[in-house]
Amino acid sequence: MSSVTASTVPSTAPLSQSGDSRNNNTRWIGRLAIYGLLTIFAILYLMPLFVMLVTSFKTMDEIQGGNMLALPQAPTFDPWIKAWGETCVGLTCAGIKGYFWNSIKMVVPAVAISTILGALNGYILTKWRFPGHTLVFGLMLFACFIPFQSVLLPMATILGSLGRFGVTLQNATGFNFGFGNSTVNLVFVHVVYGLGFTTLFFRNFYEAFPTELVRAAQVDGASFFQIFRRIMLPNSLPIIVVTVIYQFTNIWNDFLFASAYAGTGDSMPMTVALNNVVNTSTGVVEYNVNMAAAMIAAVPTLIVYILAGRYFVRGLMAGAVKG
């Protein structure tokens, strides 16, 4: 028996080692294939951004006579200065300098209000449930799937009514409540349209939040808003980051609502101004100026994703598993 055992051990060991070697080679080949495909897709995805960036630093002579993928031979900031300036043709201004703050004044309150209201809705729908709460959540969830185009006319009617109501209040009280103002209109539209998404985010996050903490706070005499302010909000940072990034990106990049409700003149947000930069080109199209303007418009969202992108993924996963 001992001779049989001794004779079999050397014969099986090389086979086991060769099998492990083949498995390791297969894993390495699989990883190389995956990373190779990811690299190719990343290059293809980032190629337009690269073209925009290098073109924005080129002169028109380079653009007309060279490869668009080539680096600028004589980099210049003139296209950026011209894109940021306020070059006007008739009633249309090509620069986007004056419209950057219009977008800021629209985005900041819209994101803040929709985030707070979404947190309150999620808090109520999970910890202070009432008869019919499922139906209410279902209707708000349905609002997430309503296309932008279908609400343009109804929303215009509502904004017109709010404008007349604001004029009536101003005549009666002497105080301007802001109804009918282009920025106020856009804030209202984005809060209403984004409320379904923010409610969905917070509702799913609070569904996994321990209800026992809320009940214990109630026993201690904490009120509705005390629980919300001292218990729910301090533990909601991951989903707040998700909501802020989502809303900020959608509102900042919006063009349909901005072009429909912002009116004309100095009240337009940056996306409409960017469109004017392209459309006011006369004669030779200044691609370098157009690309610089597009990069300026994209900088805020790029900064947000660079600084808080990893928290966005963590926040999405935070409420994915209950318990």
Cβ count near 17 (within 10 Å): 10
pLDDT band, residue 94 (cuts 50/70/90): low
Structural domains counted in the chain: 2
72 domain-assigned: no
- More confident: 96 or 282: 96
What pTM did the predictor assign? 0.79
Cα–Cα distance between 237 and 239 in angstroms, integer? 6
Clarify whether residues 93 and 12 are in a common domain: no
263 domain-assigned: yes
Clarify whether residues 124 and 31 are in a common domain: no
Query: Does position 240 have pLDDT exceeding 80, yes or no?
Result: yes
Looking at residue 177, its pLDDT comes to: 60
Cα–Cα distance between 98 and 322 in angstroms, integer? 47
For CA atoms 298, 304, 305, 306, the dihedral sign is positive
Domain that holds residue 269: 82-318
Clarify whether residues 106 and 37 are in a common domain: no
Looking at residue 9, its pLDDT comes to: 47
Task: Provide the percentage of residues in the chain whose pLDDT is more than 90.
Answer: 25
CATH code of 191's domain: 1.10.3720.10
Clarify whether residues 41 and 117 are in a common domain: no
Cα–Cα distance between 260 and 254 in angstroms, integer? 11
Weakest-pLDDT range from 26-30, 95-99, 245-249: 95-99
Looking at residue 165, its pLDDT comes to: 72
Clarify whether residues 180 and 220 are in a common domain: yes
**Alpha-carbon dihedral 151, 156, 157, 158, rounded to 10 degrees:** 80
292 domain-assigned: yes
Query: Does position 6 have pLDDT exceeding 50, yes or no?
Result: no
- Please give the C-alpha separations between residue 183 and each of 98, 191, 233, in angstroms, as whole numbers: 14, 12, 28
Cα–Cα distance between 60 and 56 in angstroms, integer? 10
Clarify whether residues 43 and 90 are in a common domain: no
Quickly list DSSP for 206-230: HHTS-HHHHHHHHHTT--HHHHIII
Looking at residue 91, its pLDDT comes to: 43
Clarify whether residues 11 and 45 are in a common domain: yes
Residues 17, 23, 26: CA angle, nearest 5 degrees: 145
Weakest-pLDDT range from 63-67, 134-138, 141-145, 254-258: 63-67
DSSP code, position 294: H
> With contact defined as beta carbons under 8 Å apart, do 177 and 222 qualify?
no
What values do phi and psi take at 93, rounded to 5? -100, 135
- More confident: 280 or 76: 76
Clarify whether residues 141 and 42 are in a common domain: no
> With contact defined as beta carbons under 8 Å apart, do 315 and 115 qualify?
no
302 domain-assigned: yes
Query: Does position 15 have pLDDT exceeding 60, yes or no?
Result: no
Looking at residue 195, its pLDDT comes to: 92
Looking at residue 4, its pLDDT comes to: 47
> With contact defined as beta carbons under 8 Å apart, do 247 and 115 qualify?
yes
How much is the average pLDDT of 121-128? 91
Query: Does position 321 have pLDDT exceeding 80, yes or no?
Result: no
65 domain-assigned: no
210 domain-assigned: yes
Looking at residue 229, its pLDDT comes to: 92
How much is the average pLDDT of 50-59? 90
For CA atoms 218, 220, 225, 229, the dihedral sign is negative
Tell me the two tokens of residue 76: 């210049």
How much is the average pLDDT of 235-249? 90
83: CB partners within 8 A, 6+ apart: 56, 95, 96, 277, 289, 290, 292, 293, 296
Clarify whether residues 21 and 120 are in a common domain: no
Query: Does position 136 have pLDDT exceeding 70, yes or no?
Result: yes
67 domain-assigned: no
Indicate the average pLDDT of the chain.
Answer: 81
Cβ count near 316 (within 10 Å): 17
Clarify whether residues 109 and 8 are in a common domain: no
Clarify whether residues 138 and 205 are in a common domain: yes
Cα–Cα distance between 221 and 51 in angstroms, integer? 60
- Residue 81 CA, distance from chain mean position: 27
Looking at residue 167, its pLDDT comes to: 67
307 domain-assigned: yes
Of 56, 72, 99, the position where a domain reaches its end is 56
Weakest-pLDDT range from 93-97, 137-141, 205-209, 230-234: 93-97
Clarify whether residues 7 and 134 are in a common domain: no
